[in-house]
Amino acid sequence: QVQLVESGGGSVEAGGSLRLSCRASGYTYSSICMGWFRQAPGKEREGVAVISPGVGSTFYADSVKGRFTISHDNAKSTLYLQVDILKPEDTAMYYCAAYFDYCRYPLFLKSRFRSWGQGTQVTVSS
């Protein structure tokens, strides 16, 4: 199991930015898929972005393409999500997650992700 701890959430106005971090341990970055999910009150948890750090491939949900950027710092064992041009509908608890393999389709299949963090709240006001 990979241990994951998120940070960096907060309250911002629409159009603002945040950088979410997920410190990870217990894995080798070359053979893992890591991702960000979010869950708004009363809604299903949905995938936002995933990355295979070993090959550098990234994938995004259509709703965040062009606004969010996922990255991984191998030296710091940390996953990031840069969130820009935030909208009120981006308000949610954001979770990082991981499983041991390269990212595979379907990309945001929650049951495949065996490790989850505790979440960090992002609130966007209009």
pLDDT in tens, 13-34: 999 999 999 999 988 777 899 9
Number of H helices, E strands in the chain: 0, 11
The residue type at 38: R
Between the CA of residue 30 and those of 14, 15, 41, 80, what are the distances in Å? Answer: 36, 35, 34, 17
Res 28: pLDDT: 77
Res 69: pLDDT: 98
pLDDT in tens, 65-75: 999 999 999 99
**CA–CA dist 92, 3 (Å, integer):** 22
